[in-house]
């Protein structure tokens, strides 16, 4: 076969000059045609669209043609011509075809319209479908948008550890990391596991949040963000929880809660605008196939302010709903942790807009949140989104050494685990604030997908770590 350097399908489809010899490589999505001619839809992942390859069957060897089946990988030399019928601007009239990889007939993606559940079972192949190609291209673009947003505003990308000795959220949902022999664990005199000979000489786990280390950095570099994998061993089999997810955590010295809220709103809107500007074809596909209101919803959120109210105000709206006859599965009263159904009632039924709830009861929030003067609430903020519920959780931080120490003790956070965190409150403390955005929750919103397992390439959930 003549050596012609490869042009990506996206570039072939955008070409302005025709009649030239080109090479395309990619996987066969479909093949149709007559006894004389085949039309092959070839996709290389560079775009949702396929390039049509026109094959004059008389010019090719029959044995070769037999190998051109759905899923096979081809290298095609041909002439790029303006297309008349294929719905695309350009197509390739094949002159030479090489089958780089034949595809045997057990290929699971033979037809269109597989269920999402089935596609999760073939997560090693699902990126080759239109839907998952679109999702993973959008996932990439959102990561770029996030870095650009913070970089443009002078934030520094800061790397916090994945292996840690402290439980930031205090929820006890950590995966342990050990090199000890689990069949023969050393015990101390009290029958407790003796970690002194373990790899780190102490108990260690995978991080549930980079926040505590992020705060150290913010109190030195001014404004930082983290963007990394996060692990939670919560046994929640819901469409919105993963055991391994990615979180973005900005932390800013001198910001108080109001600035923190504004940052969160600006940040999400920047990402949504980026998706509309850079992922138009993929969003259009998802809008057509997955969620007919997707693009409208993205624009709506972009063009409207997030509603801001306190937890106390939110609870009284929910209590009125109950009095008015609305049924929730979980009870609602001041002090209750809000369930997804409560959050979604506020967002979808009451305000019909994203909501930022602030000033939650201290009992249901973490030890590090700044305490309000009322003695009951803390300067927490959760951003609640349509279809998703909580997309961001954050707060202003308690910068007062005594108050923080007292709250940590009350909540049973051992001082030996966080002495270094406490030090910032002794050595030039300052007001500061931050939040965490669940990357996959953002992707649920941007793609219109309804299960979080479908916006991460290889989901980790209870009983599931295949691939």
Interface contacts to Mg ion, rule CB under 5 A:
393
Q: How far is CA 320 from the centre of its chain?
A: 34
Residue 398 binds to ligand 4AD (criterion: CB under 6 A):
no
387 binds ligand 4AD (CB under 6 A): no
Residue with Cβ nearer ligand 4AD (45 or 165) = 165
438 binds ligand 4AD (CB under 6 A): yes
Is the distance from CB of 211 to CB of 249 less than 8 angstroms? yes
From Mg ion, ligand 4AD, none, interface partner of 434 (C-beta below 5 to 8 A by class): ligand 4AD
109-to-25, 121, 137, 198, 451 alpha-carbon distances in Å: 19, 12, 20, 46, 20
Which residues are 461's β-sheet partners?
464
CA distance 116 to 216: 42
Tell me: does residue 435 bind ligand 4AD (CB under 6 A).
Answer: yes
C-alpha distances (whole Å) from 270 to each of 23, 278, 284, 301, 302 are 37, 12, 19, 11, 9
Segments in 17-173 forming alpha helices (H)? 62-66, 116-121, 130-152
Kindly state whether residue 228 participates in binding ligand 4AD, applying the rule CB under 6 A: no
Nearest by Cα to 421 from 244, 153, 170, 195:
170
Reference 369, options 420, 407, 339; nearest CA is 407
Q: What is the DSSP letter of 4?
A: -
Mark 245-274 with x for binding to ligand 4AD (rule: CB under 6 A) and - for no binding: x-x-x-------------------------
State in angstroms the smallest separation of the CB of 365 from Mg ion: 8
CB 94 within 8 A of CB 77: yes
Query: Applying CB under 6 A, does 232 fall inside the site for ligand 4AD?
Result: yes
Instruction: Give min distance, CB of 256 to Mg ion, in A.
Output: 20
Judged by beta carbon distances under 5 to 8 A according to partner kind, the member of Mg ion, ligand 4AD, none in contact with residue 265 is: none
Stretch that binds ligand 4AD, among 8-16, 18-26, 299-307, 391-399 (CB under 6 A): 391-399
**Which of ligand 4AD, Mg ion, none does residue 167 bind to, with CB < 5 to 8 Å depending on kind?**
none
**What mask, x for binding ligand 4AD by CB under 6 A, covers residues 36 to 75?**
----------------------------------------
**Selected range binding ligand 4AD among 257-265, 297-305, 319-327, 384-392, rule: CB under 6 A:** 384-392
Answer yes or no whether residue 168 interacts with ligand 4AD by CB under 6 A: yes
Q: Which residue has the tokens 């955008």?
A: 14
Provide the binding-site residues for ligand 4AD, judged by CB under 6 A.
168-169, 209, 211, 232, 234, 241-242, 245, 247, 249, 390-395, 434-436, 438, 440-441
């Amino acid at each position: 076969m003549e050596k012609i350097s490869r042009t990506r399908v996206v570039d072939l489809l955008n070409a302005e000059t025709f009649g030239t010899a080109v090479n395309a490589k990619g996987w066969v999505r479909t093949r149709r045609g007559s006894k004389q001619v085949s039309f092959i839809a070839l996709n290389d992942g560079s775009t949702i669209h396929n390039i049509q390859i026109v094959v004059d069957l008389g010019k090719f060897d029959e044995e070769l043609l037999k190998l051109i089946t759905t899923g096979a990988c081809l290298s095609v030399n041909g002439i790029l011509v303006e297309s008349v019928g294929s719905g695309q601007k350009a197509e390739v009239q094949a002159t030479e075809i090489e089958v780089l990889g034949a595809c045997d007939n057990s290929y699971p993606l033979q037809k269109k319209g597989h269920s999402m559940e089935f596609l999760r079972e073939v997560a090693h192949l699902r990126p080759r479908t239109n839907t998952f190609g679109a999702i993973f291209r959008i996932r990439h673009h959102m990561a770029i948008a996030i870095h650009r947003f913070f970089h443009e505003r002078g934030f520094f990308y800061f790397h916090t550890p994945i292996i840690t000795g402290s439980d930031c959220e205090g929820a006890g949902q950590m995966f342990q990391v050990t090199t000890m022999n689990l069949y023969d664990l050393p015990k101390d005199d009290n029958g407790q596991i003796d970690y002194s000979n373990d790899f780190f000489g102490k108990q260690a786990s995978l991080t549930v949040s980079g926040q505590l280390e992020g705060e150290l950095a913010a109190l030195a570099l001014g404004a930082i963000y983290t963007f990394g994998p996060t692990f939670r061993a919560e046994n929640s089999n819901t469409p919105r929880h993963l055991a391994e997810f990615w979180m973005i955590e900005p932390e800013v010295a001198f910001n108080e809660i109001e600035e923190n809220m504004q940052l969160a709103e600006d940040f999400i809107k920047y990402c949504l605008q980026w998706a509309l500007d850079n992922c138009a074809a993929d969003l259009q596909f998802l809008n057509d196939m997955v969620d007919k209101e997707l693009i409208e919803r993205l624009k709506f959120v972009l063009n409207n302010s997030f509603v801001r109210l306190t937890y106390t105000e939110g609870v009284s709206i929910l209590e009125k709903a109950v009095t008015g006859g609305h049924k929730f599965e979980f009870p609602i009263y001041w002090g209750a942790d809000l369930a997804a159904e409560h959050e979604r009632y506020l967002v979808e039924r009451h305000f019909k807009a994203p909501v930022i709830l602030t000033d939650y009861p201290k009992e249901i929030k973490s030890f590090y949140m700044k305490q309000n003067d009322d003695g009951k609430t803390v300067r927490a903020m959760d951003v609640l989104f349509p279809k998703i519920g909580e997309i961001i959780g954050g707060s202003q931080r308690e910068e007062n050494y005594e108050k923080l120490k007292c709250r940590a003790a009350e909540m049973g956070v051992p001082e030996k685990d966080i002495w270094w965190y406490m030090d910032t409150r002794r050595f030039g403390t300052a007001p500061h604030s931050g939040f965490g955005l669940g990357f996959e929750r953002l992707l649920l919103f941007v793609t219109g997908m309804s299960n979080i397992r479908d916006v991460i390439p290889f989901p980790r959930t209870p009983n599931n770590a295949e691939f």
